[in-house]
Amino acid sequence: MSQMVEMARLMQGNEAVAEGALVAGVRFFAGYPITPSTEIAEIMAERLPRMGGKFMQMEDELASLAAVIGASLAGLKSMTATSGPGFSLMQENIGFAAMAEVPCVIINVQRSGPSTGMPTAPAQGDVMQARWGTHGDHPVIVLSPASVREVFDLTVRAVNLAEKYRVPVILLMDEVVGHLREKVVLPSTGEMQIINRLVPASNAAGYLPYRPDENGVPPMASFGDGYRYHVTGLAHDEQGMPTSDPEVVENLLQRLHNKINYHLADIILDDAFYLEDAQVVVLAYGCSARPARHAVKEARQKGIKAGLYRPLTLWPFPEQRVLEIARRAHTIIVPEMNLGQYRLEVERVVRNLTQVRGLHRVHGELIEPGDILAAIQEVV
Amino acid sequence: MRGLERYLRMEKFPHIWCPGCGNGIVLGSLLRAIKKLDLNQDRAVIVGGIGCSSRAVGYLDFNTLHTTHGRALAYATGIKMARPELNVIVITGDGDATAIGGNHFIHAARRNIDLTVLLFNNNIYGMTGGQFSPMTPVHKKATTAPYGVIEPNFDIAELARVAGASYVGRSTTYHSGLLSELIVEGIKNRGFSLIEAITACPTAYGRRNSMKGGLEMLLWQKENAVLVQKAEKMDSNELAGKIIIGRLHSQASPEYTAVYQQLVDGISQKTGGGMIAPLKGT
């Protein structure tokens, strides 16, 4: 294994998801085929049974995430992969996983929408769905890679964060990154941190399945390991039993959010390029970050103090970092393949500290470096 | 109840079901079956969907899971795949299993995965207050069918059989002893087993359909149920409006998790393993 991963390889983004998941310890995959995520399921179908894991092609996306949650409760690191319309169908069970604190990873290789949209065209239209797709106020972690190597790293990270915080983690890819082929050198397994869920230290009799540890996360026993307990999507007490006691419910929902909010430093990951003295900052993620980087380089060659800020953790929103940028730069440009989903969040956070410009495309063609460069030149 | 307390979370009682509801009888039949088989509570998982029946899982001292509406079988499939050695029992209702969960139902039966499904059929959506389900008989009234249901209803036992289930049984709460025997057979069956339990909902169904109370509905079951052995000698006129109960179908066929294991073993033989050592966590 370590020999294999140290080699340089030409690899597709979707392939890197599968590699990352397997290295991170994912041993159960259930999914339903949908373009442009299909290769992930195909690779998992081939690889998992060879390593004692399980692959299932379910009847639909609802069943896929339901099976993933079931397998996770029975102790396996579990995930699914889908694209836009399938992601919509998974929302109900994403909410369940958030409420019942079941670790799981959902890969969404975004495609153009709404509805069936353009199945093979790239888009970044699921940014808000990833944050608020299921009903209620729920915690969530959403990661966005921009290169094949980053897909691998963030898939491992997604599995680790899901296990550590017992939350559904969404890897929000896009068609470009999913189908892009790049030369990658993967790290050897020894270099990588792999996190497994915390199991209860107490004996089965005293086990309270929803009593949090000091980090706000309850240790998790697997079904079949001698800890008999109840799991429900209803509001519940520390025993896992349904309740509508206002105080208990309030505490539960606050804790579900706080276990993320109190660990922002651990969860938020970002990348900066020429940011130190930048007066115009391009804030970009996923496929739009690639032309953005190119445009910033060209702007620097023209003597313009431009920089790139790239959130790899889209949600929770990197509020402090964006505020720091807003205090120094006179303009933040947000290029994205939607009509302003993340730009609106940037505007909400920076308020009147600086001006925010959007650069939006929804026709299925990538944003080009020249488009972003022109936007930079327009504001200097 | 004697000897069954060990299977219950006694501190969770009283239960939420209405007076006259048959769900307690179905639950009793399940517990007697579990006792007869002496199932290990740590090695059994009981999964419910949404609805009156599915709330039963909260009262059972097992590994229990109360899922999203209609999806119990898909959750149970994941559990069974992850740990095939566990006994996985699914409690669901007629609305849960045949409407919103209809697709999951036919595909779980088609795979013949080793799950035992105890379907509480009260012919109505009880928890939401009496709307018709795909198993409400035609012409019967419901809050969303004030002039009577115009849709033909499912025969879920027949649907399970043709979809691929290897065991199908049906009984009523009046015939609770038979119900318990069928559940025993269903749990023993290595494959997908459906046991349909006809149960009374006097509050949301009986009241709107001139069936008075729970007792009258039990007596209706007594009068209208026909054992499958007897039914074989009756013609279609005699069987009109009757419920056929007993073991309706039993045929051994390849079970999904076992077939999956064979697949894994086959790959290992061909490739000489390919097993990657488990990674050490932090």
Confidence of residue B282 (pLDDT cuts 50, 70, 90): very low
Q: Is A215 exposed, middle or buried (0-12, 13-18, 19+ CB in 10 A)?
A: middle
In percent, the amount of chain B with pLDDT more than 70 equals: 95
The answer to whether the bond into B14 is cis (omega within 30° of 0) is yes
Q: How confident is the model at residue B281, as a pLDDT?
A: 40
Q: Do B65 and A67 touch (CB under 8 A)?
A: no
Q: How far apart are CA B206 and CA B217, in angstroms?
A: 7
CA distance B11 to chain A (A): 11
Confidence of residue A202 (pLDDT cuts 50, 70, 90): confident
Q: How confident is the model at residue A188, as a pLDDT?
A: 87
Cα–Cα distances (Å) from A185 to A140, A177, A189, in that order, read 30, 17, 12
Q: How confident is the model at residue B271, as a pLDDT?
A: 62
Residue window 38-97, chain B: list those with CB within 8 Å of chain A: 41-43, 45, 47, 57-58, 61-68, 70-71, 74-83, 85-86
**Contact status, residue B31 vs residue B56, Cβ threshold 8 Å:** no
Q: Which element (helix H / strand E) includes B90? A: strand B87-93
User: Do A8-185 and A271-378 come out as alike in CATH topology?
Assistant: yes
Confidence of residue A164 (pLDDT cuts 50, 70, 90): very high
Which among A93, A194, A226 has the least Cβ separation from residue B71? A93
Question: Which residues is B131 bridged to in the sheet?
Answer: B125
Written as six digits, the tokens of A132 are 């608020």
Q: How confident is the model at residue A196, as a pLDDT?
A: 98
Confidence of residue A132 (pLDDT cuts 50, 70, 90): very high
**Contact status, residue B144 vs residue B69, Cβ threshold 8 Å:** no
**What are B44-64's pLDDT values in tens digits?**
999 999 999 999 999 999 999
Written as six digits, the tokens of B272 are 């000489």
Whether A230 shows a pLDDT value over 80: the answer reads: yes
Q: How far apart are CA A169 and CA A144, in angstroms?
A: 11
CA distance B109 to chain A (A): 12
Taking residues B158-173, report their average pLDDT: 98
Written as six digits, the tokens of A82 are 């889908």
Q: How confident is the model at residue B280, as a pLDDT?
A: 41
**Residue B222, SS3?**
helix
Cα–Cα distances (Å) from B158 to B135, B189, B195, in that order, read 13, 18, 12
Is the CB of residue A186 less than 8 Å away from at least one CB of chain B?
no
Phi, psi (degrees; rounded to nearest 5) at A206: -95, 10
Q: What secondary structure, in 3-state letters, does chain A show?
A: CHHHHHCEEEEEHHHHHHHHHHHHCEEEEEECCCCCCHHHHHHHHHHHHHHCCEEEECCCHHHHHHHHHHHHHCCCEEEEEECHHHHHHHHHHHHHHHHHCCCEEEEEEECCCCCCCCCCCCCCCCHHHHHHCCCCCCCCEEECCCCHHHHHHHHHHHHHHHHHHCCEEEEEEEHHHHHCEEEEECCCHHHCCCCCCCCCCCCHHHCCCCCCCCCCCCCCCCCCCCCCCEEECCCECCCCCECCCHHHHHHHHHHHHHHHHCCHHHHCCEEEECCCCCCEEEECCHHHHHHHHHHHHHHHHCCCCEEEEEECEEECCCHHHHHHHHHHCCEEEEEECCCCHHHHHHHHHHCCCCEEEEEECCCCCCCCHHHHHHHHHHHC
**Contact status, residue A308 vs residue A284, Cβ threshold 8 Å:** yes
**What are B238-250's pLDDT values in tens digits?**
999 999 999 999 9
Under CATH, to which class is A271-378 assigned?
Answer: alpha beta
CATH superfamily of A8-185: Thiamin diphosphate (ThDP)-binding fold, Pyr/PP domains (3.40.50.970)
Q: Do A74 and B79 touch (CB under 8 A)?
A: yes
Q: What is the distance between the terminal CA atoms of chain B, rounded to a whole angstrom? A: 47
Closest Cα in chain A to B54: A232
Q: What is the DSSP secondary structure assignment for residue B232, as one 8-state letter?
A: T
List the CATH code of the domain at B5-271.
3.40.50.970
Whether B147 shows a pLDDT value over 50: the answer reads: yes
Whether B182 shows a pLDDT value over 50: the answer reads: yes
**Contact status, residue B83 vs residue A223, Cβ threshold 8 Å:** yes
Per domain, the residue ranges of chain A are: 8-185, 271-378
Is the CB of residue A58 less than 8 Å away from at least one CB of chain B?
yes
**Residue B276, SS3?**
coil
Q: How far apart are CA A14 and CA A42, in angstroms?
A: 10
**What are A54-94's pLDDT values in tens digits?**
999 999 999 999 999 999 999 999 999 999 999 999 999 99
**What are A19-68's pLDDT values in tens digits?**
999 999 999 999 999 999 999 999 999 999 999 999 999 999 999 999 99
Q: Do A75 and B82 touch (CB under 8 A)?
A: yes
At how many degrees (to 10) do helices B72-82 and B256-271 cross? Answer: 40
Q: Do B78 and A71 touch (CB under 8 A)?
A: yes
Pairing of strands A77-82, A26-31: parallel
Burial A190-201 (b: 16+ CB within 10 A, else e): eebebbbbeebe
Tell the residue number behind the tokens 């609770």, with chain if given: B176
Q: Report CA B85 to chain centroid distance, whole Å.
A: 20
Q: How confident is the model at residue B21, as a pLDDT?
A: 97
Written as six digits, the tokens of B262 are 């064979």
Confidence of residue A203 (pLDDT cuts 50, 70, 90): confident
Q: How confident is the model at residue B1, as a pLDDT?
A: 60
Question: Which residues is A369 bridged to in the sheet?
Answer: none
Q: A196 to chain B: which residues are within 8 Å by CB? A: 281-282
Nearest to A120 by CA among A109, A106, A108: A109
Taking residues A251-275, report their average pLDDT: 98
CA distance B31 to chain A (A): 16
Q: Do B275 and A66 touch (CB under 8 A)?
A: no
CA distance B239 to chain A (A): 36
